[in-house]
């Protein structure tokens, strides 16, 4: 019999590290994966110091086409099987899509969309066997077009749509699927994306720990969508009520003023 585990991608910092801690605190055996082995080890050390079993580490770049198969093979060899999958790995950049480096555009789509899709579907059979769950980290950005971050917004719109469809497809088999859609979060994501100070209102910002807690609770409750923070929930609803042209103008003005 294989041991059920929670596999968390992008677990070296930010929301991913907070989710790793959250799952470990609730008694889950955790496997962490990301590119940066030293940071993964630091997260594993912190979890172990808190009195939880030390997480297994798989340092790999999920943008590599063979990464998912390698992770699956390593887990199988260790007698581990995914019960919960958290797809947190992803990144974005500020800037007009036409002016962005072509390789960066495709790398964003590859990680945010292709890798997430492949991981979700590769491990879906084991999620079914263990009556587990899938937590895909999307964004409030997934509910609206994003001039100035067009590719990122589009990838997160895919994650929201894909997760909602899987929620419906898999619920009859006992699998919970949740799209976690945070607004701005105090992580290194914003620095890497090139966001200047004040790009988002402070009132919308949440801590990684709060986002992780709400995401975990939402998954365990079987919620389809989790949007941490009332202001972010309002922002996600805007596209339903604001004319599309006006919404595009508002979003474009924000990017020009950044």
pLDDT digits (tens, 9 = 90+) for 165-215: 999 999 999 999 999 999 888 766 666 655 656 666 677 788 999 999 999
Secondary structure of residue 29 in the 3-state scheme: coil
Q: What are the structure tokens assigned to 182, written together?
A: 């945070």
Model-wide pTM > 0.85: yes
- State the Cα–Cα distance between residues 153 and 138, nearest whole angstrom: 9
pLDDT at 242 (0 to 100): 83
Q: Where are the domains of the chain?
A: 3-257
Identify the DSSP state of 185: B
- Tokens 């260790």, located at residue: 78
How does pLDDT run across 26-63, given as a tens digit for each residue?
999 999 999 999 999 999 999 999 999 999 999 999 99
159: pLDDT strictly greater than 80: yes
112 with 163: CB under 8 angstroms?
Answer: no
Q: Across-strand partners of 178? A: 135
How does pLDDT run across 227-255, given as a tens digit for each residue?
999 999 998 998 888 888 877 877 776 66
CATH number 3.40.50.970 is the correct assignment for the domain at 3-257: no
- State the Cα–Cα distance between residues 158 and 59, nearest whole angstrom: 26
**Cα 171-177-179 angle, rounded to 5 deg:** 145
pLDDT at 213 (0 to 100): 97
Catalytic residue set: 152
pLDDT at 246 (0 to 100): 79
Secondary structure of residue 2 in the 3-state scheme: coil
How does pLDDT run across 135-149, given as a tens digit for each residue?
999 999 999 988 888
257: pLDDT strictly greater than 60: no
Alpha helices, DSSP H only, in the chain?
Answer: 14-25, 37-49, 67-77, 102-109, 116-129, 150-170, 189-193, 208-220, 230-241, 244-257
- State the Cα–Cα distance between residues 32 and 43, nearest whole angstrom: 9
Q: Across-strand partners of 81? A: 4
- State the Cα–Cα distance between residues 199 and 236, nearest whole angstrom: 17
pLDDT at 200 (0 to 100): 64
């Amino acid at each position: 019999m294989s041991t059920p585990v929670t596999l968390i991608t992008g677990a070296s910092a930010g929301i991913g590290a907070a989710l790793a801690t959250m799952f470990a605190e609730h008694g889950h055996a955790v496997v962490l994966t990301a590119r940066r082995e030293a940071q993964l080890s630091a997260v594993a050390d912190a979890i172990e110091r808190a009195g939880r079993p030390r997480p297994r580490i798989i340092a790999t770049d999920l943008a590599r086409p063979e990464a998912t198969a390698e992770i699956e093979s390593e887990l199988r060899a260790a007698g581990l099987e995914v019960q919960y999958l958290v797809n947190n790995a992803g990144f974005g950049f500020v800037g007009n899509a036409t002016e962005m480096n072509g390789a960066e555009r495709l790398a964003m789509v590859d990680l945010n969309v292709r890798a997430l899709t492949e991981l979700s579907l590769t491990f879906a059979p084991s999620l079914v066997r263990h009556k587990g769950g899938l937590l895909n980290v999307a964004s409030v950005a997934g509910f609206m077009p994003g001039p100035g971050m067009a590719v990122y917004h589009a990838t997160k719109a895919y994650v929201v749509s894909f997760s909602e469809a899987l929620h419906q497809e898999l619920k009859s088999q006992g699998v919970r699927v949740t799209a976690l859609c945070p607004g701005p979060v105090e992580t290194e994501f914003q620095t890497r994306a090139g966001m200047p100070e004040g790009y988002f209102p402070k009132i919308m910002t949440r801590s990684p720990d709060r986002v992780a807690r709400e995401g975990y609770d939402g998954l365990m409750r079987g919620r389809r969508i989790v949007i941490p923070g009332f202001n972010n929930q309002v922002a996600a609803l805007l596209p339903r009520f604001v004319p599309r042209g006006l919404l595009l103008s508002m979003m474009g003005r924000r990017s020009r003023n950044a």
